[in-house]
């Protein structure tokens, strides 16, 4: 990363949807390669709410428990609701970040359901109203990761090949990074969402040795 070329979309894709273990590994590899803490780099290159969100994520403080605390979900939903559409303050932003970045994904799922029961609308609507730019995209990415983790990556893969041109860096990053984790499941979700095989879309959108490499990973 350099300030002139910081790719906020890539940061969102890489950091917003990882487990604490994965984030800790990313931090370790980054520091070993660049001899500088990732947190320091984010602090120097980002600003505002998005910087706070990203630095909070790389702290890797997310609870990994699969146990859901229903009272806490209700309390967190109330806290998010009390932030109020159009009344967001700096403290409200901190509440969003704390809840979104420290609660387990299972806990967030329950919190979002409680929020919808309380507010009568999904949490995505509040984010769309109260946030903008990269901060909005980051929070929405976390919500999508909670609701449909396989769909999150399937949609990102589709976006890399939509329209003219291909986002080669993102396409490679997602396929390689998920190849030993859940790429087989992502392929199935991709077929469900788009009624097409991921391999067929990659074949149509790429060529040469680059194409062969991606297809070898996908079809492994």
pLDDT tens digits for 103-147? 999 999 999 999 999 999 999 998 998 899 999 999 999 999 999
Q: pLDDT (tens digit, 9 = 90+) per residue, 13-68?
A: 889 888 888 899 999 999 999 999 999 999 999 999 999 999 999 998 899 889 99
pLDDT of residue 3: 46
pLDDT band of 190, cuts 50, 70, 90: very high
The pLDDT confidence band at residue 93, using thresholds 50, 70 and 90, is: confident
Domains recognised in the chain with CATH numbers: 149-218 (1.10.220.10)
Q: What is the mean pLDDT of the chain?
A: 91
Q: In the prediction, which pLDDT does 4 show?
A: 42
Q: Read off the pLDDT of each residue in 198-216 and give the average, rounded to a whole number.
A: 96
**CA dist., res. 59 & res. 134, Å (int):** 19
């Amino acid at each position: 990363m350099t300030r002139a070329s910081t790719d906020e979309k890539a940061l969102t894709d890489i950091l917003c949807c990882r487990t604490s273990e994965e984030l800790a590994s990313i931090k370790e590899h980054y520091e070993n390669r660049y001899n500088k803490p990732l947190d320091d780099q984010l602090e120097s290159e980002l600003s505002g709410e998005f910087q706070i969100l990203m630095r909070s994520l790389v702290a890797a403080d997310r609870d990994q428990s699969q146990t859901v605390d229903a009272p806490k979900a209700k309390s967190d939903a109330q806290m998010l609701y009390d932030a109020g559409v159009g009344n967001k303050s700096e403290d409200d932003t901190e509440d969003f970040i704390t809840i979104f970045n420290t609660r387990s994904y299972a806990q967030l799922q329950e919190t979002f359901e409680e929020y919808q029961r309380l507010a009568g609308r999904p949490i995505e609507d509040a984010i769309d109203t109260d946030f903008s730019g990269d901060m909005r995209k980051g929070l929405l990415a976390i919500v999508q990761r909670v609701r449909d983790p396989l769909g999150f990556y399937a949609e990102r893969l589709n976006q890399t090949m939509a329209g003219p041109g291909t986002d080669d860096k993102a396409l490679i990053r997602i396929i390689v990074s998920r190849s030993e984790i859940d790429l087989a499941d992502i392929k199935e979700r991709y077929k469900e969402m788009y009624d097409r095989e991921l391999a067929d879309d990659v074949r149509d959108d790429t060529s040469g040795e680059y194409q062969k490499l991606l297809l070898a990973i996908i079809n492994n």
